Structure 1
Amino acid sequence: MADQASPAKQARPSMSSSMRSSSFLNEHQQYRPPSKPENHYGIDTVVEDLQATAITHTPRQISPFNGIPSPENPPTIVESGLSHELSHPNCTPTPGTASATKLVATLFYKSTAPRISNAIPSPRRAASPQQPQSPKLAAADELPGNMAPSSSLDTFPLEPPGAEPEPLDHLYGSHISPMCITSFLHLMSTFPLPTGSTDLTSAHRCLKLDQDHGNHPLVVELTLAPAPSPDYLSLEDLRKHELIYRFEREWNVDVVLRHDTLWRRYPRLVVFDMDSTLITQEVIDLLAATIKDPPDLAARVADITHRAMLGELEFDSAFRERVKLLTGLPATIFEELRSVLDVTNGVRPLLRALKRLGVKTAVLSGGFLPLTSWLAGELGIDYAHANEVVIDKATGRLTGEVKGRIVGKERKCELLLEIAAKEGIALEQVVAVGDGANDLLMMDAAGLGVAWNAKPRVQMEASARLNGDSLLDLLYLFGFTSEEVEGLTA
């Protein structure tokens, strides 16, 4: 077979420089950066035409750095439709002009207690399948009792109460969303500023993220300067303002307002109530529940306790009345109840963190000293004060009497002042945490009074409210971040 000449190798097809600038590319190219010269379409073209191309370079005029941004020309960052004005971190306000007028607002999202839209449904009308009904009203087939003062037609109101604001966190996110922060800043801008101030500046930072659901903010700290004019509205009145309350309802948050002072970040003494604060129960109710005769005793004692915590009854006389009902109980009951006490979520790591920070702690209880002292020892609390009941030595049973002064609202306040004086601690660095009306005086004496899942009157009167599921949230009021909290509680 004769050898055949091998075919000539075909050259690789390519487009010449002239073809690259043809009308085909001009007409069919989907995207061409407008800044490129018309005859340049790639780096290979640039290299091929380099010798034929005259390159000229004109130095670009660069504006010199003018120093730290000024209030007249602050830098602005626009993100997700929000505009944030930033100040340089090295800027120092004029001495004596800003520190005393800064206001810190700490926003806590109440993720454990989501609001229900239209929580009070129309009578005899089922809830919408898209909108879950409140558990308390799930079986309601008529108007709830809180909608009218009476069931009598003569005293029935002519109009139903005003509707609650729509829960906006349902629309913008079940967390502290940018719209929530914007709404709060807009609210604060409606209050008059001090004389001589023209602008309200603000900065915010996230203290806690919801790591289980998209890392959304759950606790945010905002610093505003200046605070609203004290001549128009004191801080105490601002905390109770109707606009603040409505904002909290709309966005399902708790707002804690404090002046930005040095003592805010450095507490030295934290005083706790015991029942329904350090523990989730009322000890006197637990004692009454052990008495089976008469069968309604536990309910009667619980009703007195509830009314006393609401402030409807004078605490001292109510306590004596309840202790009288416990006559005949064996003194050993206090030891038996130790295993029943349910310590509030977050208390143990909170006390561990306070101990590492060198903060003194105390429990001032309107309950009983045997249990209070035992719990203080278990938790590592420095001071413990409570009521002493009289025990018949012959029978070993309670006589129904109380020894010495009752640890009520006045005595709690006195004990707080005594402990602070003994430790040499200024009241500005004292924090008091409680839930009942008998805690209000000591909360008022402290630099910060915190109502923990408290009764309505206490929520209104206290300088701060926490309504979460962990008392560890107290640390966020001092400006700690979640990373710092984890380090303190490890």
Structure 2
Amino acid sequence: MASEANPRQGRPSMTSAMRSSSFIKEHQQYRPPSKPENHYGIDTVVEDLQASKISSPRQISPFNGVPSAENPPTIVESGVSHELSHPNCTSAPGTKYDKLVATLFYKSTSPRVSNTVHSPVRVPSPTRGQSPKPHPSDSEFPPNMSPSSSIDTFPLEPPASEPEPLDHLYGSHISPMCITSFLHLMSTFPLPPGTADLNSAHRCLKLDATHDYHPTVVELTMSPAPSLDYLSLEDLRKHELIYRFEREWNTDVVLRSDTLWRRYPRLVVFDMDSTLITQEVIDLLAATIQDPPDLGARVADITHRAMLGELEFDGAFRERVKLLKGLPASIFTELRPVLDVTNGVVPLLRALKKLGVKTAVLSGGFLPLTSWLSGELGLDYSHANEVVIDETTGRLTGEVKGRIVGKERKRELLIEIAEKEGIALEQVVAVGDGANDLLMMDAAGLGVAWNAKPRVQMEAGARLNGDSLLDLLYLFGFSDEDIQTLIA
């Protein structure tokens, strides 16, 4: 008969070989395997780590010279982290995308104020025996919002409210939020067929002079440009969303196709009055006539309406010259010291000369002053109107000699100079402020409205409303360091 099994047989027991000085290791419910895994228990870390062989970290595959959008190679060194993948740098072989360049100028010299119309303060009704008190001045509506007894002087509907100035909230410069808002705006326009994403890159061209060094001029390159089948570049420049963005962020936005000629202009043509100089010469001439006393105001009004495009320029110019009849011809010499050259013109022309760019002034003013100023500034070409002077009296007869340099003549002169110099029109830049400059702006590769009248601001290819004409160089992609080198 078999002997009965030992009741203690098969029961777990701890031999002396299994004992250790670690209470945690002896009583834990899970014991790690002899070969450590990737995740270690606390006791293994403390006691067994030195005897273990930890696997080496995952090796990063070396960069083979071909960037990939899925696995962009990255160089990481001490203090440097650089992404090599950049799909916006060039198009794939066999494909070509039109790129769009947007240059954003922050208008720091003309900050916008909030246009919020505060609700009128309710004035308590007067008690018995008291005369009613007038409303305080701060409780009244602005003049263009208050009722009027004359329907001719008050609009039937109040003006549309302008957007709030967001630069007051996010920073008085081209802030990251400003750039983000602009890119979001551009993403709303349809892209060419076959593309789904808008790639962009930006760089700062100018910093402010304060200790914070915030960007005030930023250039963005976007690829591809919005579909030309949906919206041409000319229409995109005039789009109401672009205008609203400029108002919200207090900026000027200049949109250009990123072509080779954008960076290499060869001829820059300027208007004279209110462009190269800050005044209108014909108004200065009229101001010297004391009889009748209102002549200066009458001439200035005609000039203003002609620049707005309300009057035909040639007829308006002849009318004004008639009012100058009797002025001595020496007045042109006397006005030379009075002319106020626009800020930035002298260094701009110095920079253009160093770049080998030809320059010209096409003025609807008077040749004696235009030729003199052209010589002082070193321009290559000068064209303006020539008035008739009586040889006997030496005074103006009120007539104009030859063809008036109006809008059609300015366009013809621009094309003639470009053909003479062998310059393609794509490499010509025209700068002006009045409606009589629009045709020459349209003929040039780039037309720039400089502190211009409203119609010119909308029609021109670019608009600049700063305090220095040197800003023109940023449109060619030059940074502030480049410009300082050129004007030195």
TM-score range, shorter chain: 0.7 to 0.9
Q: Secondary structure at the match of 2:360?
A: strand
Aligned to 2:175: 177
Query: 1:484 is matched with which residue?
Result: 482
What does residue 56 of structure 2 align with? Answer: 59
| Aligned counterpart, 2:273 | 275
Q: Which amino acid aligns with 1:198?
A: A
Question: Quick one: distance in 1 between partners of 2:363 and 2:279?
Answer: 13
- 1:225 corresponds, among 220, 223, 226, to 223
Residue of 469, 472, 481 corresponding to 2:470:
472
Deviation of 1:59 (Å)? 1.9
- Is residue 316 of structure 2 the alignment partner of residue 284 of structure 1? no
Partner SS for 1:367: strand
* Identity percentage of aligned residues: 80
**TM value normalised by structure 1:** 0.81
**Per-residue deviation, residues 38-74 of structure 1 (Å, max 9, x unmatched):** 89xxxxxx9xx9xx95474532221313544323455
Cα distance, 1:87 vs structure 2: 3.8
Q: Which amino acid aligns with 1:473?
A: D
Change (3 A) 1:469 1:298: same
Unmatched segments (≥5 aa) in structure 2: 1-38, 76-81, 123-136
Q: Are 1:357 and 2:344 an aligned pair?
A: no
Aligned to 2:460: 462
* Paired amino acid for 1:270: V
Maintained 8 Å contact 1:86/1:203: no
In structure 2, C-alpha distance between the alignment counterparts of 1:61 and 1:395, rounded to whole Å: 97
Measured in 2, the distance between the counterparts of 1:299 and 1:90 equals 55
Cα distance in 2 for residues equivalent to 1:442 and 1:140: 49
1:198 to partner: Cα distance: 1.0
Give 3-state SS (helix, strand or coil) of 1:214's partner.
coil
Give aligned pairs, total. 428
Q: 1:413 to 1:85 in 2, by over 3 A?
A: farther
* Greater C-alpha Rg: 2
1:115 has 2:112 as partner: yes
| 1:106 counterpart = 2:83 | no
1:451 to 449, 463, 471: 449
TM alignment of 1:260-271, pairs within 5 A: 260-271=258-269
Pick the aligned partner of 2:422 from 421, 424, 434: 424
Q: 1:248 maps to what in 2?
A: 246
Distance 2:118 2:300 in 1: 30
Which SS does the other structure have where 1:236 is aligned? Answer: helix
Report how far residue 373 of structure 1 moved. 0.4
Matched, 1:198 2:204: no
Pairwise CA distance, 1:89: 8.5
Aligned match of 1:128: none
Cα displacement (A) at 1:143:
4.0
- Cα deviation, residue 154, structure 1: 7.9
Preserved CA contact (<8 Å) 1:288 1:301: yes
Deviation at 1:93, TM superposition (A): 1.7
* Alpha-carbon distance change, 183 to 325 in structure 1, aligned in 2, over 3 angstroms: same
Q: In structure 2, what residue type is equivalent to 1:177? A: S
Q: CA deviation at 1:162?
A: 2.2
Over 3 Å counting, the alpha-carbon distance change for 1:344 and 1:402 in structure 2 is: same
Instruction: Give the aligned CA root-mean-square deviation in angstroms.
Output: 3.1
1:214 shift after superposition? 1.1
Quote the residue 1:69 is aligned against: 67
Q: After the TM superposition, which residues 76-475 of structure 1 pair with which residues of structure 2 at under 5 Å, given as runs?
A: 87-88=85-86, 92-95=90-93, 97-98=95-96, 101-118=98-115, 143-144=142-143, 152-153=150-151, 156-157=154-155, 159-475=157-473
3-state SS of 1:396 partner: coil
Which amino acid counterpart does residue 256 of structure 2 have in structure 1? Answer: R
Q: 1:393 to 1:379 in 2, by over 3 A?
A: same
Helix, strand or coil: the match of 1:469? coil
Work out whether residues 88 and 199 of structure 2, in 8 Å CA contact, stay in contact via their aligned partners in 1: no
Q: TM-score of the superposition, structure 2-length normalised?
A: 0.81
Rounded to whole Å, the distance in 1 between the matches of 2:374 and 2:185 is 43
Please give the per-residue CA displacement for 1:281-324, whole angstroms capped at 9, x wherever unaligned.
Answer: 00000000001111100000000000000000000000000000
Amino acid in structure 1 at the alignment position of 2:206: K
Question: What amino acid does structure 1 have at the position aligned with 2:103?
Answer: T
- What is the rounded CA distance, in whole Å, between the counterparts of 2:154 and 2:293 in structure 1? 37
Q: Tell me the amino acid that sits aligned with residue 109 of structure 1.
A: Y
Q: 1:70 corresponds to which letter in structure 2?
A: S
Query: Which sits farther off after the overlay, 148-157 or 231-240?
Result: 148-157
Q: How far apart, CA to CA, are the structure 2 residues paired with 1:87 and 1:352? A: 39
**2 CA distance for matches of 1:346 and 1:322?**
30
Aligned residues of 2:119 and 2:139 also touching (Cα < 8 A): no
Asked whether the 8 Å contact 1:434–1:454 carries over to 2, the reply is: yes
What SS class does the counterpart of residue 207 from structure 2 fall into?
strand
Equivalent residues in 2 for 1:8-27, closer than 5 Å: none
Residue 370 of structure 1 and its aligned partner are, at CA, apart by 0.4
Cα distance in 2, alignment partners of residues 251 and 118 from structure 1: 14
Asked whether the 8 Å contact 2:269–2:429 carries over to 1, the reply is yes
SS at match of 1:111: coil
